[in-house]
Amino acid sequence: MTEGEHLQENRAVFLDRDGTLMEEMNFSADLSKVHAIAGAGASLAELRRDGWLKVMITNQSGIARGFFTVEEYEAVNAELFRQLGSGMDAVYFCPEDPQNATTRRKPGTGMLEEAKRDHQIAFEKSWFIGDKDTDILCGRTAGCKTILVLTGYGKKHQDCAPHFIAKDIVEAAQIVLATKM
C-alpha cells in the first residue's frame, strides 16, 4: 500500500446465532431442532443485496461443557444455512466456558476484533443484532449500533440499552436497511 492509500472499510451486520437467526436450542446439537426464524433467509439476502457483510458471532460454551463437539456445532450451522438459503460471509465462535472466558467470549469484543482485522470492517458503520444483554454490550463496546430482537431470550433482556428493539431478525433487518449512518 502506498502513502495516501487506505483500505476500504466494510460495513457489517454482526449476528448472534441461537435465539436470533434460529430458535433457541438450549445446548442441543439435534439437527431436527434447528429451526431458522421465519423470514430470516429473505432478510439476510436483502442485507447482502444492500452491500452488508453478514458475520455470525456466537458463544458456544456447550463445546467446553461437553454437550456437543465442534463437528456437531458445525453440523447445526450447516443445517441453519441450508434453511436460510445461504451462509455467512464469516463465522466466529467461542467455545469457552463462562468461568474460563477470555475477551473472545461475548460480551468481550475479541471475535469482533478478529472480524474487523480479517474483513476490514468499520465498527462505526456496523450493527450487532442479538437476543441477549451480552450481544448488546459486545456491540456497544465495539462502537456498533445495536438491535435487541425479542426472539430467544430477548424479552428477558429489554433493559440492556440497545439502540433499537425489534420483534425479530426480519424487523431488525428493516431497521438496518432504513437507517442511514
> For residue 130, which phi and psi values (nearest 5 degrees)?
-160, 175
Which of 18, 89, 131, 135 is catalytic? The answer is: 18
Q: Which residue is listed with cell 442441543?
A: 28
CA distance 15 to 126: 11
Three-state SS for 52? coil
Query: Closest Cα partner for 61 from 101, 1, 33, 3?
Result: 101
Helices (H), 36-69: 40-49
7: confidence class by pLDDT, cuts 50, 70, 90: low
What's the pLDDT at 28?
A: 93
Q: C-alpha cell of 125? A: 458503520
Distances 122 to 42, 140, 181 between C-alpha atoms, Å = 25, 13, 12
Is the entire prediction scored with pTM above 0.85? yes
21: confidence class by pLDDT, cuts 50, 70, 90: very high
Domain regions of the chain by residue span:
12-178
8: confidence class by pLDDT, cuts 50, 70, 90: confident
CB 147 within 8 A of CB 166: yes
- The yes-or-no answer on residue 16 being catalytic is yes
What's the pLDDT at 6?
A: 53
- Which of 2-6, 47-51, 140-144 shows the lowest mean pLDDT across its residues? 2-6
Residue 98 exposed, middle or buried by CB count within 10 Å (0-12, 13-18, 19+): exposed
Q: Which amino acid is at 103?
A: T
CA distance 125 to 86: 23
CA distance 144 to 93: 19
Domain 12-178 fold is Rossmann fold (3.40.50)
CA distance 148 to 114: 22
Over residues 104-118, mean pLDDT? 98
